[in-house]
Amino acid sequence: MFFIDTDTCTACDCCIDACPCDAIIIVDGQHTIDPELCVECGACYDACEFGSIFESDLESIPKQDV
């Protein structure tokens, strides 16, 4: 699974533009990845110039509100 670090995300929308399945949404003014839509292709990870997107297993990440 991919996740967005909202502390370092600049909301530049590069990840939104790169996502082929429209899985990156804005919730309460912050970018987040909808796990129901994400196909884990890594396009958002590759597009993020700020290192704000990372991959991890579900057990080590706090639940994101979607």
Q: Is 70 exceeded by the pLDDT of residue 61?
A: no
- Is 10 a residue whose pLDDT tops 60? yes
Which CATH topology does 2-57 take? Alpha-Beta Plaits (3.30.70)
Task: Give residue 58's pLDDT.
Answer: 61
- Which of residues 64 and 55 earns the better pLDDT score? 55
pLDDT for 15 equals 98
Q: Which residue ranges make up each domain of the chain?
A: 2-57
* Nearest-10 Cα torsion for 43, 35, 1, 20: -10
pLDDT tens for residues 11-22?
A: 999 999 999 999
Half-sphere exposure of 26 (CA within 13 A, CB side): 11
Count how many residues are written for the chain.
Answer: 66
